[in-house]
Amino acid sequence: MSTRRDFIRISAVGAGGTAIAWPLIQSMANAPAIADKAIYESMRRTPTYCEVCFWKCAGWIHKDDRGEVWKITGNQGDLHSNGRFCPRGTGGVGMYTDEDRLRTPLIRTEERGKQVFREATWEEALNYIADKLKKISADEGPECTALFSHGSGGKYFGTLLKAMGSPHIAAPSYAQCRGPREVAFQNTFGEGVESPERTDIRDTRCLVLIGSHIGENMHNGQVQEMSDAIDKGAVIITVDPRFSTAAGKSKYWLPIKPATDLALLLAWIHVIIEEGLYDRDYVEKYTYGLEQLKAHVSGMTPEWAYGITTIKPDIIRQTAHEMGHASPAVIVHPGRHVTWYGDDTQRLRAVAILNALLGSWGRRGGFYRPESMTVPEPPHPEYPVPKRTWRTEFPDLYPLADTVLANGVCDATIPDPSRGCNFKAWIVNGTNLIETLPNQENTIRAIQSLQLLVVIDTMPMEITGYADVVLPECTYIERYDEIRVSAHRKPQIALRMPAVKPKFDTKPAYWMARQLAKKMGLESFFPFEKIEDLLDWQLQQLGTSLAEMQRIGVKTFDRTADDLYFAPGEEVEFYTNTGKIELYATALEQAGFDPLPKYTPHEEPPAGYYRLNYGRAPMHTFSRTANNANLTDLMDENTVWVNPKVAAEWGLQNGQYVHLKNQDDKRSEFPIRVRITERIRWDSVYMVHGFGHDQKKMKRCYGKGASDTNLITKVLVDPLMGGTGMRGNFVTFVTEIEEVGS
C-alpha cells in the first residue's frame, strides 16, 4: 500500500535544524482573539458546560487567589447534572493543565526525504487550508469536502462547510454508536430517543438494561436517576454476559450468551402478549399491528429462547411479569452504543415494541416528552444547494440512514472507478477517527487518498499524525462556544465562557472557522466578528443576554404546554405512516426490510477464541481523557477481563501482560494486563475502550493498555442504516511478549 502520508509522531517537528520541538515562549503577536478579557479576569467563577463527553453538563469553573483554574463543580440549576459532575467533568481541569497539549499550528513538510511537521503561524496554516479548499472546490466540487465532528466547535466548521456548498457533516456518534436506536424508535414511535435520553428513570418502577452499563458509562443524569430509582426501590433487570456495575445493583441479572439478546426480547414479547400483561387500553388506542406481532411471536416461547440465550424459562417469565406489573412505569432502556451485530436496528425495534406494549412511551416512569428552545441563526445568505451527496454515490445502501455516515464518507473517499467523485478533503474536529472508526486499515487507506486532511484538536491524538495541517484548539475552559440547548423535562440553555485566556498559541473554533471563511470569501456567513456578539444577539432573542448568562450559567424556561406525559385518553398523532405507534413497521416493509424483528443466529467464536466485548470506565471518555493527569491517576491502563476457568486453561496469572490476537491474525499493538474475574462469562473477554495509544507525545498514555479498535477488523454493517456492528470479533491470547515500547 502506498503511504503518501507517513504517520508523524507529533514530536518529530522540523524546526529548521534546531531540536526544539515546542516553542518555549509564547509569541505575544499571536495573542488570543478573546475580547473583553476583563470580564472573566474579574470573575472568581465562570459558567461553562463540560466538553469531556457529549452529556454537556453545565457547571462552574472556580479560580484560586492567583486567578489559576482550581476546580470545576456543577451548576445547581442544570438539568443535565443537578449540580453534581461526574469524575471526568470534575477532572476536566486536567485537559487544561495537560503539558502535552497541541501548542501551535503545524504543517506537514518534507525534510531530507522524511515527512515532519513544521511549526507555522496561524496566518500560514489558515492560508494553506483556504487555498487547498478553494482548489478542491474548483476542481472537484465543494461536495468533496467532509467534516467529521465530535466537539462543540464542529458547529462553526459545519457553517463553513454549508457555506462552501457541502452537505457532508458527519459524526461518528451516529453509525458507530446510537444510530440504530434512533432509526428503530423513529420507525415505531415516529420519534427518536435523542440525547440526553428521554428516559424517566427517576420515577420508574422497573428499569431493564440490555448490555447498557449505566454507572460505567457516566452519562450523568442517567446515573443520578438510576441512583434515585434504587432509593425508591425500583426493580432493575440487567442483561449482560458481564457482571456489570449495574448488574451489581439489580434484582435480576441475566448472564446471557453474547449476541442472542434479540431472542430474549422476542420471548419477553411473547410472554407479555400471551399472558395479557400489556397495557390493553394504550395498545388498542395508540398502536398498529398487534395481531401481526402476536402471530409473529407465537412460537417464540421462553423455552425456545432458553436454547439460544441460556437464560432459564422461569427467569424469562418472572422478569416479564416484573415488567408487566410495573407497567407503564417501566423502561426497557434503548442503550446508547448499540452497533453490535449488524441487525441492531431490528434488535432495537424489539426494544421499542416491548416499550409500546408496556405503554411506557409518553408515560411517567417511562419515556417523557422533552422540550427545547430554538436558538435563532444570524441572518446570512442562502447556503448553496449541493449538487451531489454521499447518497448519490451509494444510492441503494442504508435507505433508513437519516444523517451523513462517518463510515460512508470514509468508504466514499477510497477511489473507485465506479464512482464519479470521491472525497478529497476532510476536516476532523475533536474526534480521533483512528480509534473511533472500526477497521483502521480502511480508515488509513481513505486518508491516503485525500488531498487535504485538517485536524482540529487540543491533544496530539493519533489522527493528527496523518494530518496535513494541525490546528490547536484551546480547551473548553478557555473559550466560548455555541449555546447549549437541551431537550429535557423543561427547555434549558447553558453558556460556556472562558475562565482564563488560552494557553500557548491556541484558538477557539469560532475564530478559526471565521478566519477560514474570510479567506475563502465566505465571510458573510459569519456576520459577527466576535462570538460574544453572536451569542449576545442570540441570547437577546431568547429573552436573556450574554451578561445575564455570564452570571447565571443556565436558564430554564417553562414548557409551552403541560404535556410532559400523555394525558389520560389524549389523542396522539405519531409521526409514522399510520399515525400510530407501529408494532408492525410499515416503513421498514416498504423499504424491503422485515416489518417485525426476526432472530438470526450470529457467528460464534472458534475454539480457543473469545468474543471481544468492550465498554467504558466511569473515569474516562475514550481517547479524549486518556492523557488527562487527574483521570489517569484513577485509571492509567485498561485490562482484559478473563473468566477464571479460561485463565486456568491458558495458565494466565492475574496482572500478567499478554497480547490479544483476533480472527484475522491482527495482534494488539501493545500488551494488556490480564484481570481474572468472576464478573465475565467464559465465552467472551472484556476491555475498556480508549487505551493503547500510539502517540509518544501523549506521555502519560502512550503504550498503556491495548486498543480494542485495533482488533475490530470485522465490521457487521446494518443494512437498514449503515451502523457498523463491532461485536463480531474474536480474540485469543498471545503470552509471549516483548518489552513495552520497544
CB of 381: closest distance to other proteins in angstroms? 45
In the bound state with other proteins, the residue whose beta carbon lies nearer, of 515 and 643, is 643
Q: Does 630 bind other proteins (CB under 8 A)?
A: yes
CB of 726: closest distance to other proteins in angstroms? 24
In the bound state with other proteins, the residue whose beta carbon lies nearer, of 182 and 478, is 478
In the bound state with other proteins, the residue whose beta carbon lies nearer, of 121 and 227, is 227
Q: Does 642 bind other proteins (CB under 8 A)?
A: no
For 352, residues 6+ apart whose C-beta sits below 8 A from its C-beta are 184, 185, 187, 188, 189, 334
Binding mask 562-601 for other proteins (x = CB under 8 A): ----------------------------------------
In the bound state with other proteins, the residue whose beta carbon lies nearer, of 591 and 634, is 634
What are the φ/ψ torsions at residue 210 (nearest 5 degrees)?
A: -115, 95
Q: Does 447 bind other proteins (CB under 8 A)?
A: no
User: According to CB under 8 A, which one of 562, 678, 738, 739 is a site residue for other proteins?
Assistant: 678
In the bound state with other proteins, the residue whose beta carbon lies nearer, of 312 and 388, is 312
Q: What is the size of the binding site for other proteins (CB under 8 A)? A: 45
User: According to CB under 8 A, which one of 320, 351, 459, 619 is a site residue for other proteins?
Assistant: 619
Residue ranges of alpha helices (H) inside 358-395 are 390-393
Residue ranges of alpha helices (H) inside 195-279 are 220-231, 261-274
Torsion of CA 218, 222, 226, 228, to 10 degrees: 110
Residues 709, 712, 713, CA angle at the centre, nearest 5°?
Answer: 125
Q: Does 312 bind other proteins (CB under 8 A)?
A: no
Q: How far apart are CA 619 and CA 86, in angstroms?
A: 8
Task: Give 668's Cβ-side CA count (13 Å radius).
Answer: 36
Q: How far apart are CA 509 and CA 151, in angstroms?
A: 10
Q: How far apart are CA 56 and CA 196, in angstroms?
A: 9
CB of 48: closest distance to other proteins in angstroms? 14
Binding mask 127-156 for other proteins (x = CB under 8 A): ------------------------------
In the bound state with other proteins, the residue whose beta carbon lies nearer, of 108 and 620, is 620
In the bound state with other proteins, the residue whose beta carbon lies nearer, of 251 and 391, is 251
User: According to CB under 8 A, which one of 679, 696, 719, 735 is a site residue for other proteins?
Assistant: 679
On the 0-12 / 13-18 / 19+ scale of CB atoms within 10 A, 194 is middle
If you search the block for the grid coordinates 440525547, which residue do you land on? 195
In the bound state with other proteins, the residue whose beta carbon lies nearer, of 81 and 662, is 81
On the 0-12 / 13-18 / 19+ scale of CB atoms within 10 A, 294 is middle
Q: Does 204 bind other proteins (CB under 8 A)?
A: no
Is 196 within 8 Å of 223 (Cβ atoms)? no
Binding mask 216-255 for other proteins (x = CB under 8 A): x-x-x--xx-xxx-xx-----------x-x-xxx---x-x
The per-residue DSSP string of 477-531 comes to: GG---PPEEE-BSS-EEE----SSPPSTT-B-HHHHHHHHHHHTT-GGGS--SSH
Binding mask 599-618 for other proteins (x = CB under 8 A): -------------------x
Is 641 within 8 Å of 686 (Cβ atoms)? yes
Q: Does 360 bind other proteins (CB under 8 A)?
A: no
User: According to CB under 8 A, which one of 22, 70, 394, 528 is a site residue for other proteins?
Assistant: 70
Q: How far apart are CA 180 and CA 719, in angstroms?
A: 11
Other beta carbons less than 10 A from residue 230's beta carbon: 13
User: According to CB under 8 A, which one of 633, 648, 654, 664 is a site residue for other proteins?
Assistant: 633
Contact residues for other proteins (CB under 8 A)? 70-74, 81, 84-87, 90-91, 93, 215-216, 218, 220, 223-224, 226-228, 230-231, 243, 245, 247-249, 253, 255, 618-619, 629-631, 633-634, 643, 677-682
